[in-house]
A = this chain, B = another copy of it.
Amino acid sequence: MLVNGEQHDTIAIMDRGFQYGDGLFETIEVRANQPIFLEQHLKRLNADSKRLYLPQIDVDLLHSEIHQLCQNVGNAVLKIIITRGSGGRGYRQPDVIQPTRILSLYPFPDYPKSYYFDGIVARICKTRLGLNPDLAGIKHLNRLEQVMARAEWNDAAIQEGIMLDFNGRVIEGTMTNLFYVKNCQVFTASLNLCGIAGVLRGWILEQIPVMEHDFFIHDLSAADEIFVCNSVIGIWGIRELNGQIYSANKITQNLQLMLESEKQKQVTYAS
């Protein structure tokens, strides 16, 4: 792990990331030493920094540290955390913000291949997402809602939980964004009141026509296909949700192939 460029595995207790969750993070797939969608992740980090009144990221410095960290890692997960650093008085931020920058590598998770090829089993969570337009979309460090939702089940046969917002709209999975397909049209939640605007979600929106709108559980019941995505798992179809079986997977499979091709391109281009 690198903390502001130095090897540490601890952080100051006074750091506002710890005291208040006052910061941001990115979770990035590293494949054959190459961070996938790195530009998109850094772009989002900068956009989210702006929304939280954090200083703009030194992208060159981050690039150099990421290169240093990933050069011999093969396949892994890279996590970047940026906090508002220490200082200030209570919630009040310091006059001069000196962010803390943490890069850490984790083994790539060993998910069974069937999740990718056959789809996963999902459930609907009781824990709801709160509504807050000021923080909606941001990948910030206040993630208790996700922790509470993920604590609802302990059944290894269920891989993801779907979260609704306070008004009953379907928003996303605990660790993924969610899409559904009905009559060859693809839909996903608009994230103006809650949710995390994932990098892979953004990439999918650029590849195919997707309608961002408000939808509910009954829309999922009537869906032809449902899939979830994030930067580590890629795209997984849902084969069972609340006991209902989804057998179509044509658009999901097409997107999986497009994504695989994009990743291969990034790995090849870099090497």
Interface residues of A (CB under 8 A from B): 1, 3, 8-22, 25, 52-53, 81, 84, 89-93, 102, 104, 109, 127-135, 140-151, 166, 174-175, 194
Contacts and interface: CB of A to CB of B under 8 A. Distances in A.
A82 to B, nearest CB: 13
Most B C-beta atoms less than 10 A away, residue of A12, A13, A19, A145? A13
Among A3, A10, A20, A21, the most chain B Cβ lie within 10 Å of the Cβ of A21
Contacts of A147: 16, 20, 22, 84, 91, 93
A64 to B, nearest CB: 20
A133 to B, nearest CB: 8
Contacts of A174: 91
A20 B141 contact: yes
Quick one: copies of this chain in the complex? 2
A63 to B, nearest CB: 21
Contacts of A53: 148, 151
Given A143-B22, A148-B52, A166-B131, A13 B10 contact: yes
A151 B81 CA distance: 21
Contact of A135 (B11, B12, B18, B145): B145
A144 B143 contact: no
Given A53-B148, A91-B174, A133-B166, 16 more contacts: A8-B13, A11-B12, A13-B81, A20-B147, A21-B141, A21-B143, A21-B144, A22-B147, A91-B146, A91-B149, A91-B175, A92-B151, A93-B147, A130-B194, A132-B166, A135-B144
A245 to B, nearest CB: 25
Contacts of A175: 90-91
Q: Which 5 A-B pairs have the closest CB atoms?
A: A21-B21, A130-B132, A130-B130, A142-B142, A10-B10
Nearest to A152: B53
Contacts of A90: 150, 175
Interface centre among A12, A92, A129, A140 (most CB of B within 10 A): A92
